[in-house]
């Protein structure tokens, strides 16, 4: 089993942390210890901890969900001293394996919420970070305000028991720190959201305002919410992939993960209680992250899901397989070349064409075995974040709507849960209820356009776009995805 006792006898080719994990102290608490966090934020912090004077920035992870799966994950982290292996895989087949030691504690909030609050209230904790998914911030996409109709949020605001939501934990901890005079911490979102810090600020201030307006004012004045752009493809790891990773590394790791060799983190340098020397670990600090967000969200994230939906319908299950399909590759490339790049506001020094080529290279990496169903999951939230700006700009300048319409049609058809080979699957749409999902099977193909995925451009949606979406859905059903793509998808000659 992987743990601290074997760090000096790791298999050949496996790198150990450049520090003693037993000596680091908690400076960061992270909610949502998933694969992306472990391959991204923890990866960068792991590099920092190897630097002189940085040992106060260890990470304590917090899981928010109850149940057998969450309990098993907590047990695995504990048994392994929170160590795990990361395999970085390049498209050319090169691999590097390292043990990450940045995560040195793990708490399961439903099992001991008081311990989580005690940890957050500790003055040594100076950053509280999170990866809670794009839809996890409880924001009303129409009004932009924090939603108060969520049952768990209402329960936390009632204050009858210890909190269960991230909003309840963070705001209660800040209230305790305010009362004790121990100062604030930075709230750092690491989710794939444009201006994720501003979104987090809206969410936590919205919760705090209802609980205690005076506390909300203190948070607004003292807590910082830096925006950041995060990027690293990190696929899910099932039991079979875990066995393959362990066989290649020689480790007995219950929690191995694999990620591409590319990684990027651009963050606004606004940390109210200090931060690790992340600039020495490859993080880029900027005054305004907006331009980098525009490029990443509208090019990489948008094309990722644009590839996923028709790829799923064609029966593909991995990103690299779908990109090897010439028609799908042309479709994604045309979307980037013709719909996105001409309408993109990119920061100085970043060449969108180089970035486009990088995206296609990264998507082609077979070592990722990245699942299309994962990429397309929570499409309702992702479409709002990744496609809205491009759709609005194409509509405003009278551009070609065919590729956008086909992407939307493919999403709606993919929600039906069966590909054109007849294989059934379960779309992961956590923000949609049963009544909303029924709209995709309505006889009127326009009915599904009432779904919240399209709220971001509802005020400017045109009849032409609606008609093009309906025509593409009809074509997919009548002649199949590939023929419909040729007929309706705006592929260049």
Tell me the mean pLDDT in the region 277-299: 94
- What's the confidence (pLDDT) of residue 168? 98
Q: Which candidate, 442, 376, 430, 374, places its Cα nearest to that of 407?
A: 376
pLDDT tens figures, 103-127: 999 999 999 999 999 999 999 999 9
With contact defined as beta carbons under 8 Å apart, do 149 and 189 qualify?
no
Q: Where are the domains of the chain?
A: 4-287, 290-488
pLDDT tens figures, 25-56: 999 999 999 999 999 999 999 999 999 999 99
CB-side neighbour CA atoms (13 Å) of 262: 18
Q: Output the CA–CA distances (angstroms, integers) from residue 172 to 133, 163, 196, 211, 223, in the order listed.
A: 22, 8, 21, 10, 14
Taking the C-alpha atoms of residue 461 and residue 454, their distance in angstroms, rounded to an integer, is 9
pLDDT confidence band for 137 (50 / 70 / 90): very high
Q: Is the pLDDT of residue 150 over 80?
A: yes
Q: How far apart are the first and last CA of the chain?
A: 56
Fold of 4-287: Rossmann fold (3.40.50)
What architecture (CATH level 2) is domain 290-488?
A: Orthogonal Bundle (1.10)
Taking the C-alpha atoms of residue 388 and residue 455, their distance in angstroms, rounded to an integer, is 9
pTM: 0.84
Tell me the mean pLDDT in the region 403-415: 98
Min mean pLDDT across 95-99, 142-146, 423-427, 450-454 is at 142-146
Average pLDDT in the chain:
96
pLDDT confidence band for 6 (50 / 70 / 90): very high
Taking the C-alpha atoms of residue 132 and residue 31, their distance in angstroms, rounded to an integer, is 7
Residue 194 phi, psi dihedral angles, 5° rounding:
-70, 130
At a CB cut-off of 8 Å and minimum separation 6, what does 91 contact? 260, 361, 362, 364, 365, 366, 367
- What's the confidence (pLDDT) of residue 192? 84
């Amino acid at each position: 089993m992987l743990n601290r006792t074997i760090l000096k006898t790791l298999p050949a080719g496996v790198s150990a942390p450049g520090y003693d994990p037993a000596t680091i102290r908690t400076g960061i608490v992270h909610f949502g210890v998933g694969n992306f966090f472990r391959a991204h934020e923890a990866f960068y912090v792991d590099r920092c901890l190897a630097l002189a004077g940085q040992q106060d920035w260890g990470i304590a992870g917090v899981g928010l969900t109850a149940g057998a799966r969450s309990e098993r994950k907590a047990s695995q982290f504990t048994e392994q001293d929170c160590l795990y292996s990361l395999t970085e895989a390049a498209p050319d087949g090169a691999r590097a394996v390292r043990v990450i030691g940045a995560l040195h504690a793990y708490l399961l909030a439903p099992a001991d919420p008081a311990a989580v609050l005690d940890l957050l209230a500790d003055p040594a904790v100076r950053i509280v970070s999170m990866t809670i998914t794009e839809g996890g911030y409880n924001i009303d996409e129409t009004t932009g305000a924090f939603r108060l109709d969520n049952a768990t949020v209402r329960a936390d605001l009632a204050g009858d028991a210890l909190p269960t939501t991230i909003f309840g934990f963070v705001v209660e901890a800040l209230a305790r720190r305010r009362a004790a005079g121990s100062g604030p911490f930075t709230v750092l979102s690491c989710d794939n959201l444009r201006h994720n810090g501003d979104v987090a600020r809206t969410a936590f201030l919205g919760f705090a305002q209802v609980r205690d307006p005076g506390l909300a004012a203190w948070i607004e004045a003292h807590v910082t919410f830096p925006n950041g752009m995060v990027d690293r493809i990190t696929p899910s790891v099932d039991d079979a992939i875990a066995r393959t990773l362990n066989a290649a590394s020689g480790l007995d790791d219950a929690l191995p993960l694999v990620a591409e060799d590319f990684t990027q983190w651009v963050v606004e340098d606004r940390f109210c209680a200090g931060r690790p020397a992340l600039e020495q670990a490859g993080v880029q600090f900027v005054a305004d992250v907006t331009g980098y967000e525009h490029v990443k969200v509208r090019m990489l994230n948008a094309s990722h899901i644009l590839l996923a939906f028709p790829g799923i319908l064609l029966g593909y299950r991995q990103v690299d397989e779908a990109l090897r399909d010439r028609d799908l590759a042309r479709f994604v490339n045309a979307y980037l070349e013709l719909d996105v790049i001409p309408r993109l506001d990119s920061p100085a020094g970043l060449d969108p064409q180089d970035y486009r080529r990088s995206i296609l290279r990264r998507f082609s990496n077979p070592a990722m075995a990245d699942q299309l169903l994962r990429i397309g999951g929570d499409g309702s939230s992702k479409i709002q974040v990744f496609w809205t700006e491009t759709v609005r700009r194409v509509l405003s300048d009278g551009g070609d709507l065919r590729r956008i319409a086909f992407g939307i049609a493919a999403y709606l058809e993919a929600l039906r849960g069966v590909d054109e080979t007849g294989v059934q699957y379960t779309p992961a749409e956590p923000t949609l209820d049963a009544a909303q999902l029924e709209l995709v099977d309505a006889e009127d193909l326009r009915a599904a356009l009432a779904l919240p995925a399209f709220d971001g451009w509802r005020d400017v949606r045109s009849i032409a776009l609606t008609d093009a979406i309906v025509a593409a859905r009809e074509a997919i059903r009548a002649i199949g995805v590939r023929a419909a793509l040729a007929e309706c998808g705006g592929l260049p000659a």
